[in-house]
Chains A and B, each alone.
Chain A
Amino acid sequence: MASADSENRPGTQEAIPQAVKIIVAGGFGAGKTTMVASVSEITPLSTEEVMTEASQGVDDLGGVENKTTTTVALDFGRITINDDIVLYLFGTPGQDRFWFMWDELVEGALGAVVLADTRRLDTCFHAVDFFERRGVPFVVAVNRFEGAAVYETEEVREALDVSAGVPVVMADARERESSKEVLVALVTHIIDSRRPAMSG
């Protein structure tokens, strides 16, 4: 046990938890920040990333000139799982032009949640494509907004063309319990899809 005054001294040998992450992706305004906030134990933190010169060169293809830097806000929340593990939830930047950040964001991630906004399902195609291509396990969480057409999960699955193995669940990102269920569905899916087939 550490002595009484050691707690506030730097370098104190206190157990250091492993940091792991899950990505919350989806189109602009799909509810990413809301979902991160609803399950996070802290008010979501925000950091900024500045676009580099190299990235800017690519961005110029879009015709944006005379810009040297652009900042992108990254939201993230935290869930202490136990003494050994802290889970971070990172929301992807909503704007399409910040795709280049996804590479770093998904590096080492356990998996991802794709929030599908029923008012504009097409806005999450890119996230689905990205995770499929990278082999990042994901679930689709269908966020039902007021006034939006009501879809069955199977209709959404068909519209998004995700394989039968990918869970598609209904969600309300504003509800902690619902967001928690989505994360449980994701982790269950990751565990199941990693388990080697035993029967056969």
Chain B
Amino acid sequence: MSAEGRHARRLTDRGTDSSTDGNEPRPDDGREDAEYERFLRPYAVDVGTAEAVPPTTAGTTGPADLDLLALVMAARTPGRHEWLRPERETILNHALRARTVAELAAEVGLPVGQVRVMVAEMVADGSLQRCGPSRPLGRQDILHAVLVGLRSL
């Protein structure tokens, strides 16, 4: 396929954006439809995501502030609070060291969105504390360290 191909494809996709509402059946052309969808989504969903984000009170941590790599650490050991709330106990036990939200979600086996809400509540009630890196590094330093680290794997 020529270099022009991908751009032509891209332009066609943009074109369909305004000319179809997506409900028209397109027999024999599932691929075209799929391409259309793929191009639509990154734009269309931006809006949805923004709307889905609950407003956060200044100074507190809401689920929306917790990205996949947000770090939290247990501020206390599991106790009566976790009675019949095994996910929270799991989170506290797993967060003895700083952990990312993604790791905690994997550990408790619940969707990230749900774990975000749980973690935000636990930060609010003081069970967990958010933490940042002990030695924050600039992007260039990070990149060079990552390169050295990868090479020595």
Interface on A for B, CB 8 Å cutoff? Answer: 8-12, 14-21, 39, 45-50, 52-55, 57-58, 61-63, 71, 74, 76, 78-82, 84-85, 87-88, 90, 96-97, 99-100, 102-105, 107-108, 110, 121-122, 125-126, 128-130, 158-161, 176, 180, 183-184, 187-188, 190-191, 194
Query: 6 new A-B pairs (CB below 8 Å) besides A16-B134, A104-B67?
Result: A16-B73, A48-B111, A62-B37, A84-B137, A129-B39, A160-B6
Q: Which residues of chain B come closer than 8 Å to A188, judged between CB atoms? A: 147
Known: A11-B129, A108-B67, A184-B150. A20 touches B102 (CB 8 A): no
Interface on B for A, CB 8 Å cutoff? Answer: 1-7, 9-10, 21-23, 33-34, 37-42, 44-49, 51-52, 67-69, 71, 73-77, 92, 95-98, 100, 102-103, 105-107, 110-115, 129, 131-137, 139-140, 142-151, 153
Q: Which residue of A has the minimal Cβ distance to B35?
A: A126
| Interface contact B37-A96, CB-CB below 8 Å | yes
Q: A17 to B129, alpha carbons, bound, how many Å?
A: 15
Q: Which residue of A has the minimal Cβ distance to B69?
A: A19
Q: Which residues of chain A come closer than 8 Å to B45, judged between CB atoms? A: 54-55, 58, 99-100, 103
Q: A128 to B107, alpha carbons, bound, how many Å?
A: 32
| Interface contact A10-B77, CB-CB below 8 Å | yes
| Interface contact A79-B67, CB-CB below 8 Å | no
Q: Which residues of chain A come closer than 8 Å to B105, judged between CB atoms? A: 47-48
| Interface contact B113-A49, CB-CB below 8 Å | yes
| Interface contact A85-B106, CB-CB below 8 Å | no
Q: A57 to B47, alpha carbons, bound, how many Å?
A: 11
| Interface contact A10-B67, CB-CB below 8 Å | no
Q: Which residues of chain B come closer than 8 Å to A11, judged between CB atoms? A: 73-76, 129
Known: A100-B49, A187-B143. A61 touches B153 (CB 8 A): no
| Interface contact B3-A158, CB-CB below 8 Å | yes
Q: Which residues of chain B come closer than 8 Å to A87, judged between CB atoms? A: 146, 149-150
Q: Which residue of B has the minimal Cβ distance to A10?
A: B74
| Interface contact A61-B22, CB-CB below 8 Å | yes
**Interface centre among B10, B41, B140, by most A CB within 10 Å?**
B41
Q: Give, as a whole number of angstroms, the nearest-CB distance from B133 to chain A.
A: 4
